Amino acid sequence: MTSSKNQQEMETLAEIREINASFPYNKYVKEWKEGGKKVIGWVCNYTPEELIYAAGLLPVRVMGGFEEFPLDKANAYFYPTSCSTMRSCFQIALDHRYDFLDGFVMGSPCEHARRFYDIWTYWMKTPFYYPVGLLFIYGDESVRHYHDGLLDFKSKLEEFYGVKITDDALREAIRLYNRTRELLRELDDLRKSDHPPISGAEAMEIMNACLATPKEQFNKILEKLLEEAKSTRRNWEDKEIRLMFSGSMWNNYNFLKFIEDQGCLIVVNEICTGLRYWSHLVEVGSAPLEALAHRYITRFPCNHFYPWEQRMDRMVETAKAYHVDGVVNNLVRYCVALGFMRPLIKERFAKDGIPCYDLEQMYGARGSGQVKTRIQAFLEMIGFSKEGQEALFTQGG
Amino acid sequence: MILEPMGSHMENFDGLIKTLEGMIEHRKKKPTVPSSLAFYESQLEYYKEIRYAHDQGKLFVLHSAFAPAEIFFAMGLVPAHASFSLGAMAQVLKKQPECLEAAHRYGLPWETCGAHRLVVGAALLGFTPHVDLCVSYHFGCTSAATSVVNVAKLYDLPIFYLQLPYGYREYDIRSYVRQLELLIAWLEKQTGRKMDWDRLKEAVKIEKQIYEYEREIEELRGCVPSPVKHRSFMEQYQTDMMMPGTPTGLHYYKTVRDEVKDFAERGIHPLGPNHKERYRVISCFMPPNWCRSLMDWMEEEHGISSVAEPHMNEWSAWLADRIDPDKPLESLAVKYQSHLIVRQLCSPLLINQLPDTLKHIEKRKADGAIYYASVTCNTSPHLLTCLKNALEKEKVPLLILDNDVLDPAYASESEMRERVDAFVEIMDVYKEKRATEKG
């Protein structure tokens, strides 16, 4: 739960928390299953959810825990330097909490996620598996290749589940998912203001629920949330510093709250379970698969995409659009893509005078004394810098 | 940031050449197998090409592992495999600590692969001649691709990014062919030279011959005792990556084939008629590059032969129909997609890695398997529990040898030897168990 003095939390958040409390088998997923329908777990934002949905299946993101917990069972199946996010996901699977899944789809450029797919397919009894292939290079060839992959994936879904995915069903799915993205964007736009209606931690809670809930129901919750947000004016008087939270996949909102409790407000979650999920709409045109291919390859990219400038430029644009004072770049152990890109990201932000702070931790960590000290030092540094700028301004410099 | 001009420390590159010359002299004085000398001579030739590329008016291309070097050779460019040039230099000259320290100060965290961090570190310290072009290649290993991107960014070098799509599907091959066309167009633009298609076809023709030698070698590896020296697979792997489609590569492979055929026909081990082969193991992934003596020790001390390396060298049988000099790009695409280590990294476990490993157990009469788990590798060690389980079902024990492929600081040779000593006892127990079950 997020709380801070002088804050007025939105009531709709209670619904979000109810969904998250029963993650991953929340009441909406349960209803879906009770209706005799199938659920597909997916890994990574490059999985085309619309295609799965158009087959009459419910796509839900396979995520790790929203809080810190021991990974003792999962550790037995992974190497010590395997990605801690994937270990967390598998821990939940080993606890039989993903047993409701009827299929497992991985659409990731990350080798850890690919190995997770392998481990899942070897040890789990999920009936349907599919690895979505993709090139992570900006350009026509990647769009064309992804489109070929969509055709293949479509035929595999149709064959396995005995369904026909029509263009009309695809367009309908695209409209539904576009609506979710629009609502999330509208909500996030409010975070650009001086008085954002939600904190970074709350935004993460909303996204966690979003990724695990059928969009028909979730869009209704989002509409309600948005209405309430528009009429909410939160007072963040003890949080003058505005931060962007960036980096590897992350779901532990308590950690964001932990950062915010040090005296700042996270105003944009530039991660795959944040802004990168909803950025860019799919064009609803005559060729839905082509439109999907175009959207998935050309939207706000993750750390794997080349050229890196595509990502770094958008990171800086985002930081400016949300008026941030600094960036926390959170590397989840053992994320190699971010590891190799990190020096250049830091340099890129420095060019625009935006301080960027590198953190490394195990996925799901809730915060430690050491991290607290590091964040406090970073905030102090930003604070000094801001004071210096104000002094210059008041002196007419 | 410590950024020294490229080529500012050519004494290191010269040191590498001198070391290799010394090794060749040593081999000549104390010969082992003919392929060993051929290997070092080909290495020397390769590094000298890089060292003197600019003197000969040639352009120098730094590339990630498994980039199609045939294309560079065909265009008259001098390719340098990033890990086997910059990384190898740090290793041969024992300058890993300096290079890793430089990479750390630059900002690369421990999460990044040590072998490729070393590449960036050596580049930061100016160990290589000035690079003209970079070709980064993602074949399922982010570190191999992004370390070269970092080098290009640091020195503001032109770079092309090539990628093998994940999966093992025909449309992936078609995409790779189109990317090769883009690569050639880019190289032509950067160098002002045209692709010499006849030369490329000739390279593919050589590759086809290498493929045939390689298949012959693989066929002979079921012989008891093994007609192949334990460490030989590392030399084959390195040659295959560094000089594909070249007469030098072909000569090396022919030497290996002749040698293996000779030992197989005579029914003796390369260490001589008195050598006793006691254990036959499957080697999974890459042994520490700095410690090939471990393989010699295993062979001499315990009579352990490596009889299969399902993640390193073996070429797919079905390539015979797909390598066609008249279709050079298609041939290169299928060759690189089906290369063992590439397909293990770039396709699902159940499609390739598992069957590729298990198929050798009976055919090669394996007593055990050794899994070289390089601690900072983001690709290879993560499936070892699956493999261990699958091998266990076949009653084959697996030793997981944790190491760092290029940094001896993580696990020393003596530590690894101790673990091998213990594993030998385990293999004995399994041997007895299998014999009892057979009745």
B145 min Cα distance to partner chain A (Å): 10
* Mutation for testing the B interface, residue in A83, A86, A111 having most B CBs under 10 Å: A111
Residue of B nearest to A309 (CA): B153
- Determine the average pLDDT of the residues in A344-355: 97
Chain A residue numbers with beta carbons less than 8 Å from the beta carbon of B107 are 342-343, 346, 358
Is the pLDDT reported for residue A3 higher than 50? Answer: no
* Mutation for testing the A interface, residue in B111, B350, B351 having most A CBs under 10 Å: B111
Chain A residue numbers with beta carbons less than 8 Å from the beta carbon of B138 are 136, 306
Residue of B nearest to A361 (CA): B111
CB–CB contact A81 B174 (8 Å): no
* Strands lying side by side in the sheet with B133-138: B78-81, B60-63, B133-138, B159-163
Q: Which two tokens stand for residue B57?
A: 């008016």
CB–CB contact A111 B386 (8 Å): no
CB–CB contact B385 A119 (8 Å): yes
Model ipTM value: 0.95
Is the pLDDT reported for residue A4 higher than 60? Answer: no
Q: What pLDDT sits at residue A391?
A: 64
Pairing of strands B133-138, B78-81: unpaired
Amino acid at A370: Q
Taking the C-alpha atoms of residue A92 and residue A61, their distance in angstroms, rounded to an integer, is: 13
Is the pLDDT reported for residue A1 higher than 70? Answer: no
Q: What pLDDT sits at residue B321?
A: 87
Chain A residue numbers with beta carbons less than 8 Å from the beta carbon of B112 are 336, 339-340
B22 min Cα distance to partner chain A (Å): 36
- Determine the average pLDDT of the residues in A46-68: 97
pLDDT single digits (tens) B358-410: 999 999 999 999 999 999 898 889 999 999 999 999 999 999 999 998 888 89
For residue B411, report the phi and psi dihedrals to the nearest 5 degrees: -140, 125
Where does the pLDDT of residue B237 fall: very low under 50, low under 70, confident under 90, or very high at 90 and above? very high
- Determine the average pLDDT of the residues in A36-64: 98
B427 burial level (CB within 10 Å; 0-12, 13-18, 19+): buried
Query: DSSP per residue over A181-211, as a string?
Result: HHHHHHHHHGGGSSS-SS-HHHHHHHHHHHT
Q: What pLDDT sits at residue B386?
A: 96
Residues 6+ apart with CB under 8 A from B79: B61, B63, B67, B69, B72, B73
CB–CB contact A122 B175 (8 Å): no
Is the pLDDT reported for residue A6 higher than 60? Answer: no
- What is the signed CA dihedral for B116, B118, B123, B128, rounded to 10 degrees? -100
Chain A residue numbers with beta carbons less than 8 Å from the beta carbon of B175 are 135, 141, 144-145, 148
What count of CB pairs under 8 Å joins A to B?
142
Rounded to the nearest integer, the mean pLDDT of chain A is: 94
Q: Token match 């399922």: residue? A: B140
CATH architecture of A9-391: 3-Layer(aba) Sandwich (3.40)
Chain B residue numbers with beta carbons less than 8 Å from the beta carbon of A306 are 136, 138, 145, 149, 161, 163
Q: Which two tokens stand for residue B274?
A: 């008195």
Find the CB nearest A133 among B165, B349, B375: B165
Provide the 3-class DSSP secondary structure of residue A139.
Answer: coil
* Mutation for testing the B interface, residue in A46, A79, A137 having most B CBs under 10 Å: A79
Q: What pLDDT sits at residue B74?
A: 98
Chain B residue numbers with beta carbons less than 8 Å from the beta carbon of A82 are 382
Q: What pLDDT sits at residue A394?
A: 56
- Beta partners for residue B61, in sequence order: B79, B133
Q: What pLDDT sits at residue B101?
A: 94
pLDDT single digits (tens) A161-209: 999 999 999 999 999 999 999 999 999 999 999 999 999 999 999 999 9
CB–CB contact B175 A144 (8 Å): yes
* Strands lying side by side in the sheet with B279-284: B304-308, B279-284, B368-374, B398-403
* Mutation for testing the B interface, residue in A85, A121, A135 having most B CBs under 10 Å: A135
Domains and CATH numbers, chain B: 11-189 (3.40.50.11890)
CB–CB contact B150 A136 (8 Å): no
Q: How many CB atoms lie within 10 A of CB B430?
A: 15
Taking the C-alpha atoms of residue A42 and residue A218, their distance in angstroms, rounded to an integer, is: 18
Residue of A nearest to B375 (CA): A81
pLDDT single digits (tens) B68-80: 999 999 999 999 9
pLDDT single digits (tens) B184-200: 999 999 999 999 999 99
- Determine the average pLDDT of the residues in A316-336: 96
Chain B residue numbers with beta carbons less than 8 Å from the beta carbon of A76 are 385
Taking the C-alpha atoms of residue A7 and residue B336, their distance in angstroms, rounded to an integer, is: 59
CB–CB contact A360 B109 (8 Å): yes
For chain B, the C-alpha Rg in angstroms (whole number) is 21
Taking the C-alpha atoms of residue B364 and residue B283, their distance in angstroms, rounded to an integer, is: 12
pTM here is: 0.95
A243 min Cα distance to partner chain B (Å): 22
- Determine the average pLDDT of the residues in B287-308: 95
* Mutation for testing the A interface, residue in B378, B389, B405 having most A CBs under 10 Å: B378
CB–CB contact B171 A145 (8 Å): yes
CB–CB contact B140 A114 (8 Å): yes
B102 min Cα distance to partner chain A (Å): 13
Provide the 3-class DSSP secondary structure of residue A387.
Answer: helix
Identify the CA nearest to B413 among candidates B280, B295, B303, B278.
B295
A19-23, A329-333, B270-274, B435-439: least confident range: B435-439
CB–CB contact B108 A339 (8 Å): yes
pLDDT single digits (tens) A307-323: 999 999 999 999 999 99
For chain A, the C-alpha Rg in angstroms (whole number) is 21
Q: What pLDDT sits at residue A2?
A: 43
Find the CB nearest B383 among A115, A307, A337: A115
Cβ atoms B342, B139 nearer than 8 A: yes
CB–CB contact A134 B345 (8 Å): no
B228 min Cα distance to partner chain A (Å): 31
Pairing of strands A241-247, A326-332: parallel
Cβ atoms A43, A107 nearer than 8 A: yes
B162 min Cα distance to partner chain A (Å): 8
Long-range CB contacts for residues A137-144, cutoff 8 Å, separation at least 24: A137/A305, A137/A306, A137/B161, A137/B163, A138/A297, A138/A298, A138/A301, A138/A305, A138/A306, A138/A307, A138/A310, A141/B175, A141/B178, A141/B179, A141/B182, A142/A297, A143/A293, A143/A294, A143/A297, A143/A298, A144/A293, A144/B175, A144/B178
CB–CB contact B107 A148 (8 Å): no
Chain B residue numbers with beta carbons less than 8 Å from the beta carbon of A340 are 108, 112, 116, 142-143, 146-147, 149-150
Would you kindly state where each structural domain of chain A is located, as residue ranges? Answer: 9-391
Q: What pLDDT sits at residue A390?
A: 65
Chain B residue numbers with beta carbons less than 8 Å from the beta carbon of A308 are 149, 153
